[in-house]
Structure 1
Amino acid sequence: MHKQNSCKPATGTSHQVTVTDLSGARSSLHATNPAGVLCASLDAVAPAAQAEEMATVPYTELEQPYHVFPKGLKKFLVGVIGVAGLFSGLSSNIYFPSLDAIAKDLNVSIDAVSLTITSYLVIQGVSPLLWGSLSDTVGRRPIYIASFTVYIISNIVLSLSPNFTILLIFRGLQAAGSASTVSIGNGVIQDISPPSERGAFISFYQAIRNFSIAIGPVLGGVLANTFGFRSIFIFLVILSSLVIIMVILFLPETLRSIAGNGSLRLTGIYKPLVARFTVEPPYMQDPDEAVQRKKVTVITFIEPLKLLVEKDIVLNLLFGGVVYAIWSMVTSSTTGLFKSRFGLNELLLGLAFLPNGCGTIVGSAMVGKLMTRDYKAAEVAYKIAHNLPPSHKLPTKNIPADFPIEQTRLRNLPWIASLFSVSTAAYGFSLADPTLTSKPGWIVVPLVLQFLIAAMSNAIFALNQTLVSDLCPGKGASSTAINNLVRCGLGAVGVAFVETMITNLGPAWAFLGLALITVTMTPLAAVNWFWGQRWRAARTERKAKIEE
C-alpha cells in the first residue's frame, strides 16, 4: 500500500489532493500556507495521482526538515565557526615554545611561567559556563561578538605586559574570551545538524580547530625567536580582528528558539551583514508570533551544572576529562623535556610540536568518518528490528529512547583507548635513557608517539563530545561548557603536577603511571555501554512527565 500525505493546494481553491508515492514523480514544492508548510503543486502530483483514484482526505502537515540550509551552506558555517574556534587552541599552543624566553624576560622561574598555563586552563574550563549559558538563551551570534571583544582587549594588554602579574591576570582573561568559541560552535552544530550528520560535522569542526595546535607552536617559536614573546600577542590581535569581521559578515543566528530551522527571518544583531545586501532565500518567513526570548537569570548559569547529576553524562565527562588531562600533560611538558634531551632552541621547539598538531587533525577526521558509518549502520539495524521501511526517517530532534546511540558512538572506543594508553607508556620510556636520546635521529621516536597520542586522544574527544551533544538535545553550548569544565579542571591539575612527577619519578615511570590511569578509567565507558540507554530512557520519561 502506498503511503499517503494530504496537502492543501497552492492556490486559494477549495480542492484537496492525495499525494501518492512521489518517489517516482517529479514534484515542485511551495511553502504557501501561513505556517510555512511545504505543499506539492497540483501540476507536479497529477502524473502520480492518475495511477489511483483521487480521494479527499483531511489536511495534515508534512514534516518540516530539521534545518533548511543546504549541506554546502552548513559546511561553510562549520568552517566559519571552526576558524573562530582556532583561538582556544592557538592561544595555548602558540605560547609553549616561548616559556623559557618569558621566564628570562620577566625574571621569573619556569615554574612561575607554568602557572600561566594552569590559570589559562582553569579559566578555559569555567568561562564557557557563562558564555555557553548565554548563547543558549540570547543567541550564538551576539555572544561570539562579545567574547571576541574580550579576547582582543586581553591580547592588546598582553602585548604590553610589563611584569608577570599583568601576564598572569590577562592570560586568564584571554582564556575567557577564546574558550567560549568552542562551546558556542558546538551549539551551532547542534542547531543545524540532525544526529545522522552531527558526528561528521563535530569532527570536521574539531579538525579545523586543531589546525591551530599544529601551526601554533611553529608560529610561536618563529615570533618569539625573531621579535620577542610580546609579538605573539600582537599577531593574535590582528588575526582575531579579521575573524570577528568574518563572523559579523557571514554568520547568521542559528539558535532554534530565535531562528527556528533556519527559515525564520532575522533582524538586528542576529542578521549577518552580508544578508542585508543579498537576495533573501525563498524559504525565509516571519515567525507566526513574536519570538519569546528567555530571560537571563541566575538559573541560566546554574542550568548546565544540572547535567552533572545525570549518571551517563558524568561518566562520559570523566573519561574524556582524564584523557584530556593526560594529553595536556604530554603537551605542556614537551618544551622542558625536548630542550633538556635534544638541546632545541625556540624555533626548533616550535617545529617539535608539529606531530602533535597533525595528530589532532588526523584523529578528528578519521573518527568523523567512523561515526557517520556507525550511525548509518545502527539506523538500518533499528529499522529492521522495528519493521520500519528503509525510507522511514528517525526523529531528528529527539533520538528515540530505544535507539542505541551510546553503543553507536562508543563502538570504536576500545581500540582507540588501547592505542592511546600504549603510546603514552612508550612515550615516557623513549625519553628516559640518555644513551638513546643522544643517538642521531632518535628524536623521531618520541615525536611519532606524540602523533599517536594526539590522534587517539582527539578521536576520543570527538566521540565524547558527539555523544554528550546527543544526550543533551537543545543544550549544545551548555553541554560543551560542562564538558570543558571537567576537561580543563582535570587538565589544570595535571599540568600543575606534571613537572614534579617527571622530576621525582623520571619520564618513564611518570607516563607509565598516566597510561595505567587511562586503563583504570576504561570501565566508565563500559558501564555507559551497558546501562547508558536505560538511564537516557528514564531521563526522557521524567522530562515528558514534567512537560505534561
Structure 2
Amino acid sequence: MIALPGEEVSQERNNKTIRQQSHGEKTMQIISPDETNTEGNDNNGDQQQNNPDTTQDLRESTTATSEKPYTSFSLPQKWFVVGMATAASFFSPLSGQIYYPVLPILAENYHLSQTLLNISVTTYMIFQGLTPSFMGTFSDASGRRPGYILAFIIYTAANIGLAEQNSYAALLVLRCLQSAGSSGTVSFGYGVIADVTTTAERGTYMGPMAAGVMMGPALGPVIGGLLSQFLGWRSVFWFLVIISGSYLVIFTLFQPESHRGIVGDGSILPSESWRLSVLQYIRIRRKQARMSVEEKQEYDEARKELRIQQKNRKLAFPNPLLSFVILLEPDALMLILYIALMFFGATIMMTSLPSLFPGIYGLNELEVGLCFLPLGVSSALGAVANGKLLDWNYRRLAVKHGMSIDSKHGDDLTNFPIEKARIQMPLFWASLLAATFLGYGWALDYKTSLAVPLVISFILGFSLICTMNSLNTLLTDIFPSRVSTASAASNLVRCLLGAVGAAVVDSMIDAMGIGWCFTFTGLVMGAAVMFLWCEYKWGMQWRQKRWRKKAEKVEAV
C-alpha cells in the first residue's frame, strides 16, 4: 500500500508488536512510537484523542509494515529538496553577519553610539531565537511549503524596508522583522530532511544542511564589506531583496510539499491545490497514469486516510509553548544545553574577530571579512565529511547489535542505542573544540603570525560543525514527529546564549584580556562535554521511557 505519514518504523509506530520477515525467518519486533502518528498532531493532542477517526487511523496504521520505500522521491529529487532547504538555512546567519560592515557607516549617518547600534544586533539574535518557536510548530502542524513561503514573504518585505528606511527606530523594527522571517528556515530544514530520509542515511543529508548554516557567518562579512565599500550600505539590503525574492519564486514553483502528514511518502496529492508545486503536480499525475487498478485503489485508500488525519489539522496557529515542552525532556535538554554553550563560544569568537584583528594585524574591513573564510571552508568540509562518518558509525553499531539496516523503509530504533551511534564521535570533536579556544586566544594574545589564528579557526570550524551536525541529527532521530519543533527549541536556547555572548564579549576581553577570555570560554566548553556524556550514558533509557508512555496513551484511547 502507499506509504503513510508514519511509515518509517523508527518514527511513527505505536509500540505494537508486529511480524516481519528478516533473512527468511519470522521475528518479533517492538516498533518505536515516538510521539504520535504524524508530525502535526503535537499541536492538537487533545483533539486527536477525542477524535475516533484519528484514533482508529492510529491503530490501523500499525498493523503491518509497508513494503513500499519510505519516500517516493528519487535520489535526484531528494537532493533537490534538501538543497532547497539548505539554501534557505543560509539566509538567517547571512543576514546577521552581512550587517556588521554596515555598522560604522550607520553610526556616522545616524549619529549613533556603538551601544545603540549593538542593540540592533542583540535584538536580531533575540528574535532569531524566539521566532522558530512559533514558525517551527507552524511547519509541523500546517506543512513545509506554507511555512517557507510565509517566512520569505516577511523576510523579503523587511529587506525592502531596510533598504529604504532613514531612522534608527525603523532600522530596529525592520531588523526584528528580518530576523523573524529568516530564522524559522533552519528548523524547517531539519523537518524536511526527516520527511524524505531514513535514519540510516540521514547523516549524509544533514551535512549540507549544517554547512549552509555555517557558511552564512563566513561569507556574510565578505559580501557586506564589498557591497558597502563599493556600492553603499543600502546595496547590502537590496542584495538580500534580490536573492530572497528569487529564492521565493523558485521555491513556490518547484519545491514540493514533503510533510508526511499531508503527502504521505510524497506520492499523494494534498487536498488543497495551493500546497502543490508545479513539478510535484506533474510528477504525481504521471505516476497516477501508470498505476494499475490495484495500485489506484491503494492510492485512493491512502489519500482517504490522510484526509481523515487532516480533518482537525488545517492551517494552525503556532504554539510556541511546544518548544518549551521539549526542553522538559531530559535527553533533549542535555543536547540543547551543549549546543547552546557551543554557540555561546562560537559567537564570542566571531563577534570579537572584527574588533581584534584590525588592532593586532592592521587589517581593513575587507581583509577582516576574508579572515572568516577559513572558518567557512572548514565548516563546509566538516559538514560533508561528518555526515558520511555518522552514517558509517550507524552501520557499524547496527552490525554489532545484530540489527539489519533498511535504508529504503527505515529501521526500528526502539532497542537500538542511536544515542551512542551519534555521540561517540562528537565526544572527540567537542574536546578538540574546547582545546582550540585556548590556542586561539593565546595566539592572539601573543600576537603571533596571522597564519596561526587562521589555521586554528579552520580547526575550530571543522570541530564545531562536526559536533553540531551530529547532535542535530540525533535530535531528529529521537523526535522524528516533532523535528521542526525540537530544532526550534534548540535554536531558542542557543540564540539567547549567543546574544549573551555578543553582549559580554567586549567586557570579558577588557576585564580578563584576550588569552584568559578565550581560556575561560574553552573551559566552559570543556565542562559542557558532561552533558554529552550524560546523554551517551542515559539517553536511550530516557527515550524509551518517553516512547513507551506515549504508546500507552495511544493504546488507552
Both proteins in one fold, TM over 0.5: yes
Query: Counterpart in 1 of 2:554?
Result: 547
The answer on whether the counterparts of 1:135 and 1:143 sit within 8 Å (CA) in structure 2 is yes
The answer on whether the counterparts of 2:135 and 2:318 sit within 8 Å (CA) in structure 1 is no
Q: Report matched runs for 1:128-139 at 5 Å.
A: 128-139=132-143
The answer on whether the counterparts of 1:96 and 1:332 sit within 8 Å (CA) in structure 2 is no
- CA–CA distance in structure 2, aligned partners of residues 61 and 521 of structure 1: 41
- CA–CA distance in structure 1, aligned partners of residues 109 and 450 of structure 2: 29
Query: Counterpart in 2 of 1:75?
Result: 79
- CA–CA distance in structure 2, aligned partners of residues 217 and 366 of structure 1: 25
Query: Counterpart in 2 of 1:488?
Result: 495
- CA–CA distance in structure 1, aligned partners of residues 349 and 64 of structure 2: 58
Query: Counterpart in 1 of 2:340?
Result: 321
**Cα gap change, 1:60 to 1:368, in 2 (>3 Å):** closer
Q: Report matched runs for 1:413-492 at 5 Å.
A: 413-433=426-446, 436=447, 442-492=449-499
Q: Using the TM superposition, give the Cα deviation of residue 256 of structure 1 relative to its aligned residue in structure 2, in angstroms.
A: 0.8
Q: Report matched runs for 1:21-170 at 5 Å.
A: 62-170=66-174
Query: Counterpart in 2 of 1:412?
Result: 425
**Cα gap change, 1:508 to 1:310, in 2 (>3 Å):** same
Matched, 1:508 2:515: yes
Query: Counterpart in 1 of 2:202?
Result: 198
Query: Counterpart in 1 of 2:59?
Result: none
- CA–CA distance in structure 1, aligned partners of residues 154 and 64 of structure 2: 49
**Cα gap change, 1:354 to 1:393, in 2 (>3 Å):** closer
**Cα gap change, 1:103 to 1:258, in 2 (>3 Å):** same
Matched, 1:288 2:304: yes
Q: Using the TM superposition, give the Cα deviation of residue 62 of structure 1 relative to its aligned residue in structure 2, in angstroms.
A: 4.8
- CA–CA distance in structure 2, aligned partners of residues 299 and 150 of structure 1: 16
Query: Counterpart in 1 of 2:190?
Result: 186
Query: Counterpart in 1 of 2:49?
Result: none
**Cα gap change, 1:369 to 1:21, in 2 (>3 Å):** closer
Query: Counterpart in 2 of 1:270?
Result: 275
The answer on whether the counterparts of 2:134 and 2:318 sit within 8 Å (CA) in structure 1 is no
- Once the two structures are overlaid, the 10-residue window that deviates more, 449-458 or 369-378, is 449-458
Query: Counterpart in 1 of 2:383?
Result: 364
| Percent of aligned positions that are identical | 33
Question: Which residue identity is paired with 2:478?
Answer: L
TM-score (norm 2): 0.82
**Cα gap change, 1:219 to 1:297, in 2 (>3 Å):** closer
- CA–CA distance in structure 1, aligned partners of residues 515 and 206 of structure 2: 34
The answer on whether the counterparts of 1:257 and 1:291 sit within 8 Å (CA) in structure 2 is no
- Match for residue 531 of structure 2 among 501, 504, 524: 524
1:477-500 Cα distance to aligned partner (Å, 9 max, x none): 111111101111111111110111
SS in structure 2 at match of 1:401: coil
Count of residues in Structure 1 that have an aligned counterpart in Structure 2 = 482
**Cα gap change, 1:539 to 1:106, in 2 (>3 Å):** same
**Cα gap change, 1:542 to 1:135, in 2 (>3 Å):** same
- CA–CA distance in structure 2, aligned partners of residues 489 and 354 of structure 1: 25
**Cα gap change, 1:20 to 1:119, in 2 (>3 Å):** closer
Query: Counterpart in 1 of 2:43?
Result: none
**Cα gap change, 1:395 to 1:315, in 2 (>3 Å):** farther
- Match for residue 536 of structure 1 among 521, 524, 543: 543
SS in structure 1 at match of 2:269: coil
**Cα gap change, 1:447 to 1:165, in 2 (>3 Å):** farther
The answer on whether the counterparts of 1:430 and 1:445 sit within 8 Å (CA) in structure 2 is yes
Question: Which residue identity is paired with 1:151?
Answer: Y
Name the one with the larger helix percent: 2
Question: Which residue identity is paired with 1:495?
Answer: A
Q: Using the TM superposition, give the Cα deviation of residue 418 of structure 1 relative to its aligned residue in structure 2, in angstroms.
A: 1.7
Query: Counterpart in 2 of 1:335?
Result: 354
The answer on whether the counterparts of 1:199 and 1:371 sit within 8 Å (CA) in structure 2 is yes
**Cα gap change, 1:470 to 1:21, in 2 (>3 Å):** closer
The answer on whether the counterparts of 1:141 and 1:269 sit within 8 Å (CA) in structure 2 is no
Q: Report matched runs for 1:252-267 at 5 Å.
A: 252-266=256-270, 267=272
Query: Counterpart in 2 of 1:374?
Result: 393
Query: Counterpart in 1 of 2:179?
Result: 175
The answer on whether the counterparts of 2:267 and 2:284 sit within 8 Å (CA) in structure 1 is no
1:13-67 Cα distance to aligned partner (Å, 9 max, x none): xxxxxx9999xxxxxxxxxxxxxxxxxxxxxxxxxxxxxxxxxxxx987533211
The answer on whether the counterparts of 1:132 and 1:183 sit within 8 Å (CA) in structure 2 is yes
1:268-295 Cα distance to aligned partner (Å, 9 max, x none): 2211023456673426844134354315
- Once the two structures are overlaid, the 10-residue window that deviates more, 184-193 or 84-93, is 84-93
Question: Which residue identity is paired with 2:528?
Answer: M
1:139-159 Cα distance to aligned partner (Å, 9 max, x none): 100111111000011101111
- CA–CA distance in structure 1, aligned partners of residues 512 and 83 of structure 2: 43
- CA–CA distance in structure 1, aligned partners of residues 316 and 84 of structure 2: 30
- CA–CA distance in structure 2, aligned partners of residues 530 and 20 of structure 1: 30
- Higher RCO (CA 8 Å, separation ≥ 6 residues): 2
- Once the two structures are overlaid, the 10-residue window that deviates more, 214-223 or 176-185, is 214-223
Q: Using the TM superposition, give the Cα deviation of residue 502 of structure 1 relative to its aligned residue in structure 2, in angstroms.
A: 0.9
- Once the two structures are overlaid, the 10-residue window that deviates more, 477-486 or 444-453, is 444-453
CA RMSD of aligned residues (A): 2.4
1:84-103 Cα distance to aligned partner (Å, 9 max, x none): 22101211121223332332
**Cα gap change, 1:102 to 1:235, in 2 (>3 Å):** same
- Once the two structures are overlaid, the 10-residue window that deviates more, 251-260 or 89-98, is 89-98
Q: Using the TM superposition, give the Cα deviation of residue 114 of structure 1 relative to its aligned residue in structure 2, in angstroms.
A: 2.2
- CA–CA distance in structure 2, aligned partners of residues 475 and 422 of structure 1: 34
Matched, 1:345 2:364: yes
SS in structure 1 at match of 2:165: coil
- CA–CA distance in structure 2, aligned partners of residues 535 and 148 of structure 1: 37
- CA–CA distance in structure 1, aligned partners of residues 550 and 450 of structure 2: 54
Query: Counterpart in 1 of 2:54?
Result: none
Q: Using the TM superposition, give the Cα deviation of residue 186 of structure 1 relative to its aligned residue in structure 2, in angstroms.
A: 0.8
